[in-house]
Amino acid sequence: MQEYDRRNHEPGDVAPDLLTRFAALDGKIEAHRYERLAVYAETIVSSGRDKAAERFPELSAHLDACSDCRVVVDETVAFIMEAEPSG
Ligand SMILES: [Zn+2]
């Protein structure tokens, strides 16, 4: 038995797959921003939206104005929740 079907299910770790997913979602968003959005989404999952907004005020303000990024964050939150049912 040499199957590694659990390799992409490390809790608390944003898999590189996620970045590829963002790229597919919206190719015009710059790569470094995916990482910030991923961190923001992880903070929402672990601490709630209020804490995420407190910790990343600039990003929070941007999300208020930018529906594209909001969709990315929401998708990522849903993706992390699926991966971590205890969320
Ligand atoms: Zn944006």
pLDDT in tens, the chain (87 residues): 555 555 555 555 556 676 666 655 555 455 457 788 999 999 999 999 999 999 999 899 989 988 888 999 999 999 999 986 665
55 Cα–ligand 1 center, Å: 17
- Asked, for residue 17, whether it belongs to a domain, the answer is no
Does residue 21 fall inside a structural domain?
no
Q: Is residue 41 part of a domain?
A: yes
- The total of structural domains in the chain comes to 1
Question: Taking Cα atoms as reference points, which of 23, 50, 31, 40 lies closest to residue 80?
Answer: 40
* 16 is a domain residue: no
Distance, CA 2 to ligand 1 centroid (Å)? 42
The range of the structural domain enclosing residue 38 comes to 26-83
pLDDT value of residue 35: 83
pLDDT (0 to 100) of residue 83: 84
Rounding to the nearest 10 degrees, give the CA dihedral for residues 20, 16, 76, 13.
180
Q: What global pTM score does this model have?
A: 0.60
